[in-house]
Structure 1
Amino acid sequence: MLALLRITLAEVDAMDDQEFEIALRDLLTRDGWSARKVGRQGDQAADVIGQDQQRGRIVLQAKHTKVGGKVGSGVMYQVKGTAGPVHGANISVVVTNGAITRDAKAWGERHQVHWGDRDRLRTWAEHGTPLHDLLRLPPRSPRRATRRRAARTTSIAS
């Protein structure tokens, strides 16, 4: 049933912050991620955390705004500073039902903080395009695991 999940922007706009976070979790799950909602007071810029065998760990920061609301660069800085170090993310994404400022988009692109504005949210939630396709998220490089395995083998052989 979740595989058929579609959420309109009108439905998103009518949600409160908690419902928006739950909807993002459900959309990630629909896309094949193992996802859980973690957002609460003091969440350190993580509202939803997902895991995917091929892509690793994703952290979503949800910004539910009034229609016409904008998300600025400060949110991008916060997510960049916590997604990897605090939450172990390979991928960080800011998702809003509003707009993301031009500066925030540019900063995010330079510093690998992905973003989903109102238009991208429509494509993801209403049209069913998986988030990893929408954001063109590549599979993780297998080199990391191989390097660790090689190091373990070397230390055992020594």
Structure 2
Amino acid sequence: MHAALAGPPAFLWFLPLMLLTSATAGWLLATQHQKRQQFAVFQCQRSCCSPARVDGLDHREFEYLVRDLMIRDGATNVRRVGGAGDNGADVVATDPGGQLWIIQCKHRKQGLGGKIVGVQELQILNGTGRPVHKGNVVVLVTNGAASKQAHGFAKSQKLEIVDRLLLEDWITGDRPIWELLGIKGSTVPSVLSDVQSGAPAGTSESVYSLAEAYSAGLVPWKPATMRQYLLRSQRRGIPLPRSKGGLGHLYTAAELGEWLGHWRAQGTAPHQQPE
């Protein structure tokens, strides 16, 4: 009699609770999945970031941008490792030739108007890039500019600098960074493999590197000085010469002539050294 009047078995009271817990867990998993998808989209947007938006990133986002660009280029084992105790390595990656890249990122909120990367920052990177991290290619990437002394030190120590000008070519072009820097050992075919005698495939118009343009008398400065002028062009609002076909640092005579014309229009004589 008492058994018949007794309530339902105790485990039945837990059934609604179990269902609620299961539903909550499912909702959490779905939310996490959605966040991962949103994060993946955000990562992709970093890779496609326009040069104009780079200055608006924070230092972590800038490191992720560099990481994503390396992935886009075909590097493997790409990791963003920046943070406390990183010993100068913000991004590490392996290029298709098996070379280990150690990359330090220097973001400037003011872009070209920010603090110029100096020798001291290159000295710190030089002290860890190969001795500590065992890198084959050691690179400093900045959305600003590097001083002439920094470029000289980098060259003497076999370090690489990706400054604002080269960074824009990297972001907007289709050439991997090892091609833009002229790093040997990559197995990725060059998009310039079809270029014959200095002319893009399908055209008859010659293109020139900065060194070739100087040798041909198209510009009055050697490549190192030309790069300083090109960087200052952005500060002055002078349109940069851009090659056809996304060839990066290869320019036609007409493009270089037009660019020099803009400098003359601003009253800068071609024989002057960069300010």
1:11-57 per-residue CA deviation (whole Å, 9 max, x = no partner) reads 21110000000000000010011211000022111000001241410
1:122 alignment partner, one of 148, 152, 168: 168
Is 1:104 matched with 2:147? no
Is 1:47 matched with 2:93? no
- CA contact 1:114–1:135 (8 Å) conserved in 2: yes
1:19 alignment partner, one of 61, 64, 67: 61
- CA contact 2:145–2:163 (8 Å) conserved in 1: yes
- CA contact 2:74–2:96 (8 Å) conserved in 1: no
| Counterpart-to-counterpart distance in 1, 2:101 and 2:176 | 14
- Could you say which residue in structure 2 is the equivalent of 1:153? none
2:102 alignment partner, one of 59, 69, 75: 59
1:110-148 per-residue CA deviation (whole Å, 9 max, x = no partner) reads 1111000000000001223210001011018xxxxxxxx
Structure-2-length-normalised TM-score: 0.48
1:20 counterpart letter in structure 2 = F
2:71 alignment partner, one of 7, 20, 29: 29
When Rg is computed on C-alpha atoms for both structures, the one with the higher figure is 2
Structure 1 unmatched ranges of 5 or more: 141-158
Structure 2 unmatched ranges of 5 or more: 1-40, 187-275
Instruction: Name the SS for the 1:122 alignment partner.
Output: helix
- CA contact 1:55–1:137 (8 Å) conserved in 2: no
Q: Which has the higher contact order (CA 8 A, sep 6+)?
A: 1
After TM superposition, the runs of 4+ consecutive aligned structure 1 residues lying more than 4 A away are: none
- Could you say which residue in structure 1 is the equivalent of 2:139? 93
| Counterpart-to-counterpart distance in 2, 1:107 and 1:121 | 20
Question: Is the strand fraction higher in 1 or 2?
Answer: 1
1:48 counterpart letter in structure 2 = V
2:181 alignment partner, one of 131, 135, 143: 135
What percent identity do the matched residue pairs reach? 36
- Could you say which residue in structure 1 is the equivalent of 2:5? none
Cα deviation for residue 86 of structure 1 reads 1.1
1:43-72 per-residue CA deviation (whole Å, 9 max, x = no partner) reads 111000001241410011000012212110
Instruction: Name the SS for the 2:131 alignment partner.
Output: helix
Cα deviation for residue 6 of structure 1 reads 3.0
1:50-102 per-residue CA deviation (whole Å, 9 max, x = no partner) reads 01241410011000012212110111111111011111100000000000000
- Could you say which residue in structure 1 is the equivalent of 2:194? none
- Measured on the aligned residues, the alpha-carbon RMSD in Å equals 1.6
